[in-house]
Amino acid sequence: MLIKERLLIPGPSQVPPQVNSAMGRPIMGHRSGDFAKFHEQLAQKLKKIFQTENEVVILTGSGTAAMEASVGSVVNPNDPVLCIVTGKFGERFVELARTFKAEVTVLEYEWGSSYDLAEVKRVMAEKQFKLVCATHNETSTGVANNIAFLGKLCKEKGALLLVDAVSSMGGMDIKTDAWNVDLMVTGSQKAFMLPPGLGLVAVSPKALEIINGNDSTNYYLSLKKAKKAQAKWSTPYTPNVSLFYALDEACNMILNEGLETVFSRHQLLARACREAVRALGLTLLAKDEDASYTVTAFCGDVDTEAVRSLMKKKYGFAVAGGQDRLKGKIIRIGHMGYMDIADLLGAITALELALKEVNYPVKLGTGVGAAMEVIYQGGEQK
Amino acid sequence: MLIKERLLIPGPSQVPPQVNSAMGRPIMGHRSGDFAKFHEQLAQKLKKIFQTENEVVILTGSGTAAMEASVGSVVNPNDPVLCIVTGKFGERFVELARTFKAEVTVLEYEWGSSYDLAEVKRVMAEKQFKLVCATHNETSTGVANNIAFLGKLCKEKGALLLVDAVSSMGGMDIKTDAWNVDLMVTGSQKAFMLPPGLGLVAVSPKALEIINGNDSTNYYLSLKKAKKAQAKWSTPYTPNVSLFYALDEACNMILNEGLETVFSRHQLLARACREAVRALGLTLLAKDEDASYTVTAFCGDVDTEAVRSLMKKKYGFAVAGGQDRLKGKIIRIGHMGYMDIADLLGAITALELALKEVNYPVKLGTGVGAAMEVIYQGGEQK
């Protein structure tokens, strides 16, 4: 039976047709004046979405490449680095910092929780860190951490703040400058609605000063070289030109929809998803006050892997399971980027049908009805 | 706010990405041997979908062009023609037959009903007709007429049977040969999942004999010329080569899914749609036994145009209103071609939300829950 593939994992996400079309444009020489002009105007759009006056560097690589470029360009052996870990992608910062021989302090919190503000404050009061690494939106748990608080602390203490916003930038209201984030990292394949392949980093002047004074071992993933090339709207190595086109088109879509509208759409989808989960008697992993707008994780007294498999096989909805310690225990629905109300409601119908098919007690229509109630109320409020 | 456009009118219907891609192939010269070879193998696929041994002529024009080609190639002035009318597209046959100066007998039935078998039998017993025109699937009302019965009558009485299956071929089980249909007409933009632009006619040997003996005034829309050219797998005039590619790809999709599966999918979507309509307290136009599998029409104590407008504006679902005498009185949901369960359920959620927004009494989740129950049961049965 015809079943359309619907990608609702927490990234890669769905790619709009106009973004796909943009990738078909003829390849420009990346050392040409035309490319430099194109790069320059693209960079202006990125600054608006990042809500920053800092330049955004575009790396040809994944979000992890952008994370490594940031850590590796800043950290020297034995530098004191604080990593705040609330899930799998927080752990990645620990691995990266250790790879670059930092002296790493790890503050780890239960997966599904946000960090403890008071504890972070206490630890930062006791010790001077060169770099603090934190995750804005923890893709593995659907928790959004409070970055504004961290930024204030880092500014007071003179530490650089590096933030992973891979699964939230372009979907959630992230104020890079107002929050004092020195290195703001994201990837192309989440709320930016692109295929995987680009990593982005907004670099503050303070971070750049440290980077330029550093003797980093990063060659390809060098923010120093990237920033230097970017002064002439170039790149140190061959960029993925097609994805640059796609990024430009995606920025146009985001800016044309309007940042406020994009953010409120993501919030509406998240709220609808959470109410559906609750109405179905399942358990949300993140508390309401910590809830991500781009990914919702939940568990319940049910074989989540069987449910996921049915959602995909019978209704075409690919949603994610848990990672590492949450493997086989949770379901994660991505609702980021090129997603609208009908996409989300469709996913809930598939969830309900799959639940019923594994004999979970559900009156069909309960979850999607609760989600629709949120949509209806949300629509009224605007 | 981002709202994806979802075309669920009763044609044109959604075009699959692979069909769109096929249209991008380099244009062949239509007088080349390569094109003839391609045309020949495409024709074999069409015969399977039409369930016929007759050759299927492909005309560059709409479904109406194929209807005119059929009527105009067969009818001479004063020829007795019977038109069975159950909606707008039945009326089109009357207009066409009169255009070609036929002596037309019209049997007209209430829009939303099928024809009266006994009356048709009586009228055909009283008079010898050269041609009988009937609509298989009346797009304007969502009624599927009994063609098998008509075919038997026409065979007994020696009349040619011309059937409009524009909005059903490729989605419903249509047995061109077993039903004794001499001219079976369809278009590209419905269950065949193509953009508009092609009309198809399967021509029986009996019809061809009459056509070849006729002095038709049709020049471009001449089945005589089309059949003559087709003997060499050519076309009398320049064909829409891109749509031929698309048609080939769509045939592959239909045959790969399997005719039985395609038909049962359409039936499942129709049943789910009808149960949702009922659960919402709305009134189905067609009786269950007359129900089309590709389009569902309904009315209710509500401003249907306001509901349609909200479904489109707020949720992206384009559904159709009524035509002519049903204008402003009904909603028609097309569920044909490139449509899956999630598409249908999504449309129902949009319908419910729109109904609530015009203050129609609805507990959100009721309609989609009823539709999901059908899907769930349907899934169990297979």
- Residue A379 has what pLDDT? 60
B6-12+258-381 CATH fold? Aspartate Aminotransferase, domain 1 (3.90.1150)
Query: Which residues in chain A are closer than 8 Å to B339, comparing Cβ atoms?
Result: 2
B54 pLDDT higher than 50: yes
Per the CB < 8 A criterion, the answer to whether A112 and A102 are in contact is no
- Cβ distance B353 to A316 less than 8 Å, yes or no, reads no
Place of tokens 């009908």: A342
- Cβ distance B341 to A315 less than 8 Å, yes or no, reads yes
DSSP, collapsed to helix, strand or coil, labels residue A258 as coil
Q: Among A262, A315, A365, select the one facing B342 at the smallest CB separation.
A: A315
Query: Which residues in chain A are closer than 8 Å to B363, comparing Cβ atoms?
Result: 369
- Residue B379 has what pLDDT? 60
Nearest-Cα distance to chain B for A339, in Å, is 8
Task: Write the Ramachandran bin of B216: left for phi over 0, alpha for psi from -120 to 50, otherwise beta.
Answer: beta
Amino acid occupying residue A131: L
Nearest-Cα distance to chain A for B349, in Å, is 7
DSSP, collapsed to helix, strand or coil, labels residue B137 as strand
Query: Which residues in chain B are closer than 8 Å to A20, comparing Cβ atoms?
Result: none
Query: Which residues in chain A are closer than 8 Å to B1, comparing Cβ atoms?
Result: 257, 261, 264-265, 340
- Cβ distance B340 to A3 less than 8 Å, yes or no, reads yes
Q: A180: Cβ–Cβ under 8 A, 6 or more apart, which residues?
A: A151, A152, A154, A155, A161
Amino acid occupying residue A253: M
Beta-bridge partners for A333: A296
Query: Which residues in chain A are closer than 8 Å to B342, comparing Cβ atoms?
Result: 4, 6, 315-317, 346, 349-350
What is the chain B residue with the closest CA to A341?
A: B315
Q: How far is CA A255 from CA A40, A45, B4, B75, in A?
A: 17, 8, 17, 59
Q: State how far Cα A332 lies from the chain centre.
A: 14
Omega within 30 of 0 (cis) for the link into B80: no
Mutate to test the interface with A, among B23, B268, B349, B362 (most CBs of A within 10 A): B349
Each residue's pLDDT tens digit, A182-233 = 999 999 999 999 999 999 999 999 999 999 999 888 999 999 999 999 999 9
> What average pLDDT does range B24-51 have in this prediction?
97
Burial of A43 from C-beta contacts in 10 A (0-12 / 13-18 / 19+): middle
- Cβ distance A340 to B4 less than 8 Å, yes or no, reads yes
What is the chain A residue with the closest CA to B316?
A: A342
DSSP, collapsed to helix, strand or coil, labels residue A244 as helix
Nearest-angstrom CA–CA distance, A364 and B365: 8
- Cβ distance B353 to A376 less than 8 Å, yes or no, reads yes
What is the chain A residue with the closest CA to B317?
A: A342
Nearest-angstrom CA–CA distance, A343 and A270: 12
- CA nearest A160: which of A185, A134, A132, A184? A132
Nearest-Cα distance to chain A for B294, in Å, is 15
Each residue's pLDDT expressed in tens, for chain A with a length of 382 residues: 999 999 999 999 999 999 999 999 999 999 999 999 999 999 999 999 999 999 999 999 999 999 999 999 999 999 999 999 999 999 999 999 999 999 999 999 999 999 999 999 999 999 999 999 999 999 999 999 999 999 999 999 999 999 999 999 999 999 999 999 999 999 999 999 999 999 999 999 999 999 999 988 899 999 999 999 999 999 999 999 999 999 999 999 999 999 999 999 999 999 999 999 999 999 999 999 999 999 999 999 999 999 999 999 999 999 999 999 999 999 999 999 999 999 999 999 999 999 999 999 999 999 999 999 999 998 644 4
In chain A, helix, strand, coil percent, each to 5? Answer: 45, 15, 35
- Asked if the ipTM is above 0.90, the reply is yes
- Cβ distance A379 to B314 less than 8 Å, yes or no, reads yes
- Cβ distance B340 to A1 less than 8 Å, yes or no, reads yes
Nearest-angstrom CA–CA distance, A321 and A308: 7
Per the CB < 8 A criterion, the answer to whether A115 and A138 are in contact is no
Query: Which residues in chain A are closer than 8 Å to B316, comparing Cβ atoms?
Result: 340, 342
* pLDDT more than 70, % of chain B: 99
Nearest-angstrom CA–CA distance, B310 and B353: 9
Q: Among A1, A2, A349, select the one facing B345 at the smallest CB separation.
A: A349
Sheet with B283-284, strands from edge to edge, namely B283-284, B295-299, B331-334, B320-321
Query: Which residues in chain B are closer than 8 Å to A373, comparing Cβ atoms?
Result: 364
- Cβ distance A316 to B261 less than 8 Å, yes or no, reads no
* Token output for A104: 């790493």
- Cβ distance B357 to A345 less than 8 Å, yes or no, reads no
- Backbone phi and psi for residue B167, each to the nearest 5 degrees, phi listed first: -100, 15
Nearest-angstrom CA–CA distance, A226 and A293: 31
- Cβ distance B340 to A2 less than 8 Å, yes or no, reads yes
- CA nearest A186: which of A162, A205, A167, A171? A167
* Token output for A254: 């985001």
Q: How far is CA A282 from CA A273, A331, B147, in A?
A: 12, 10, 50
User: DSSP character for A26?
Assistant: P
- Residue A329 has what pLDDT? 97
Angle at A297 between CA A69 and CA A288, to 5 degrees: 100
Nearest-angstrom CA–CA distance, A34 and A234: 11
Alpha-carbon Rg for chain A in angstroms: 21
- How many A×B Cβ pairs under 8 Å? 120
Nearest-Cα distance to chain B for A16, in Å, is 9
User: Model-level pTM?
Assistant: 0.95
Give residue limits of the domains in chain A.
6-12+258-381, 17-256
Amino acid occupying residue A147: I
Decide which of 3.30.1340.10, 3.40.640.10, 1.20.120.140, 3.90.1300.10 is the CATH code for A17-256.
Answer: 3.40.640.10
What is the chain A residue with the closest CA to B14?
A: A4
CATH 3.40.640.10 correct for B21-256: yes
Query: Which residues in chain B are closer than 8 Å to A265, comparing Cβ atoms?
Result: 1-2
B264 — pLDDT class (breaks 50, 70, 90): very high
Mutate to test the interface with A, among B3, B315, B341, B358 (most CBs of A within 10 A): B341
